[in-house]
């Protein structure tokens, strides 16, 4: 594995790979790697000749009062994990490398962001779309790999690639979970022992919702109310428990087609998110 820090270096190296006709799988991350990230690397390794990973805690996607400074970082450990996972090129730029003193253009995401995390984290997805546009230009990926735990991010990246005619295949990868169901996340380290136990309620609530749908419930309000009921038993504060079409993220009067059940709960030092995507086949639609 080689590690590089500058835009020029990564562009030179990925241009060479392209000229050699090699496919490039790109895994953008903010580091503090866990099994969720490594599952993206594993898939990228399987699908491509070259695997590029970036580790960059992107200041632009953190709002005022969010955890940019405190975001967990451990570059030594990450380097080791990336190498063991089969990453060929690790890109670890400094903030000054990614953002010049004055930016001329910043991405502005117009759809799929007025709900869920986009609603409570104003400007977050503009920051994500900006840094990803830069990183995609640098890494020249054939395929990009994103975890479905951040399903709204996947929906935004889907729109970004489509709207800007990027010749990139988006590969969403299933959420990796602990044995008790909690989704792997860099922020899980912020949970106290008792919160860690309570946090299993998120996936329990989602599974309950999925079960109610499979039993035939088609009213989103009923499903949301029951999910909230489960989350309310924790000491956390519910940020949202919502259901929207996926990936468009539009409200639904009746559950049909492909949709997301998504939850976010704020514990004392960590805000956890999780979701489940469900697709009701056409032949199971309610009679009109
Ligand atoms: O999901 C993340 O870790 C970040 O949002 C990403 C995609 C690396 C952009 O900074």
Give 205-255 pLDDT, tens digit per residue.
999 999 999 999 999 999 999 999 999 999 999 999 999 999 999 999 999
Average pLDDT, the chain: 96
Residue 259 Cα, ligand 1 centroid: separation in angstroms? 23
Residues 72, 117, 227: CA angle, nearest 5 degrees: 105
Residue 144 Cα, ligand 1 centroid: separation in angstroms? 12
Is 5 catalytic? The answer is no
Q: What is the pLDDT of residues 256-275, one digit of tens each?
A: 999 999 999 999 999 999 99
pLDDT value at residue 286? 55
| pTM of the entire predicted model | 0.94
List residues near ligand 1 (CB under 6 A): 28-30, 58, 61, 128, 131-132, 150, 153
- Strand partners of residue 221: none
- Cβ proximity of 27 and 145 under 8 Å: yes
pLDDT of 192 over the 80 cut: yes
Give domain 2-173's CATH superfamily: HUPs (3.40.50.620)
Count of C-beta atoms within a 10 Å radius of residue 159: 20
Residue 124 assigned ligand-binding role: no
Residue 37 assigned ligand-binding role: yes
Atom from ligand 1 closest to the CA of residue 30: 3
> Domain 186-276 is in which class?
alpha beta
Confidence band of 285 (pLDDT split at 50, 70, 90): low
Residue 103 Cα, ligand 1 centroid: separation in angstroms? 20
Structural domain spans, the chain:
2-173, 186-276
Return the structure tokens found at 103: 């930016």
């Amino acid at each position: 594995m080689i590690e590089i820090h500058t835009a020029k270096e990564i562009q030179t190296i990925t241009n060479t790979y392209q000229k050699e006709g090699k496919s490039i799988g790109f895994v953008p991350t903010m580091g503090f790697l866990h099994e969720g990230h490594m599952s993206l690397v594993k898939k990228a390794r399987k699908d491509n000749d070259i695997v590029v990973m970036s580790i960059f805690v992107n200041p632009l996607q953190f709002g005022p009062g969010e955890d940019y400074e405190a975001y967990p970082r451990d570059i030594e450990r990450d380097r080791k994990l990336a190498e063991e996972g089969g990453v060929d090129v690790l890109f670890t730029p400094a903030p000054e490398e990614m953002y010049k003193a004055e930016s001329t253009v910043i991405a502005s995401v117009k759809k799929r962001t007025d709900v869920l995390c986009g609603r409570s984290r104003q400007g977050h997805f503009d920051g994500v779309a900006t840094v990803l546009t830069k990183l995609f230009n640098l890494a020249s990926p054939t395929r990009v790999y994103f975890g479905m735990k951040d399903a709204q991010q996947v929906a935004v990246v889907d729109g970004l690639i489509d709207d800007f005619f990027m010749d990139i295949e988006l590969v969403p990868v299933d959420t990796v979970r602990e044995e008790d169901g909690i989704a792997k996340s860099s922020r899980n380290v912020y949970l106290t022992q008792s919160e860690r136990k309570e946090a299993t309620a998120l996936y329990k609530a989602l599974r309950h919702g999925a079960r109610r749908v499979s039993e035939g419930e088609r009213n989103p309000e009923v499903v949301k109310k029951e999910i909230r009921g489960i989350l309310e038993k924790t000491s956390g504060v519910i940020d949202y428990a919502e259901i929207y079409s996926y990936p468009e993220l539009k409200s639904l009067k009746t559950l049909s087609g492909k949709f997301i059940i998504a939850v976010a709960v704020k514990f004392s030092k960590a805000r956890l998110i999780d979701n489940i995507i469900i697709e009701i086949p056409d032949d199971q639609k309610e009679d009109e």
